[in-house]
Structure 1
Amino acid sequence: MKPYIERASAAGLEWVKSSYSGNNGNCVEVATLPGGGRALRDSKNLGGPALTMSTAGFNVFVRSIVSGDLNQP
């Protein structure tokens, strides 16, 4: 699996924004990739690149966010 998609809007994926997102435009959208895995993109740059990862990698990523492991010092 490539670690990114160059043009997220051209990938033909169904992008979803979290129901916790506000209307400030600073959102991350996620899509399920064909064959599994997830893609993430910046909602302000729909045509820009998207980060891709396996389903297991996405689960670790989300758990790290929730636990605060990715917080800056």
Structure 2
Amino acid sequence: MSKNSDMTWRKSSYSGANGNCVEFAVADGDLVAVRNSRFPDGAVLLFDRAALGTFLAAAKDGEFDDLAV
């Protein structure tokens, strides 16, 4: 995988200025990297695009709404 600084990271336009955001970047091959924007040099999680697509579809469908405050 490329180093964090070599990837183009992006976060949702809904993210506020408080820095509590999740950022995503295309990694090598069929992988998407995910990190905490408050700790850009910290841990990075890798997901294949199919798994991330399944998660995003479930989130859009409201499957995790009961976890929100």
TM-score, scaled relative to structure 1: 0.74
1:33 aligns with 2:27: yes
Instruction: Supply the RMSD in Å over aligned alpha carbons.
Output: 2.1
Structure 1: any 5+ residue segments left out of the alignment? none
The farther-off stretch of 43-52 and 59-68 is 59-68
Deviations 1:31-66 (CA, angstroms, capped at 9, x unpaired): 011212211100001011111111111101111222
Deviations 1:1-60 (CA, angstroms, capped at 9, x unpaired): xxxx8xx635x2111111121112111000011212211100001011111111111101
In structure 1, what is the equivalent of residue 13 of structure 2? 19
Percent of residue pairs identical: 35
Q: Larger relative CO (CA 8 A, sep 6+): 1 or 2? A: 1
Could you list the runs of 4 or more consecutive aligned residues of structure 1 that deviate by over 2 angstroms after TM superposition?
Answer: 70-73
Structure 2: any 5+ residue segments left out of the alignment? none
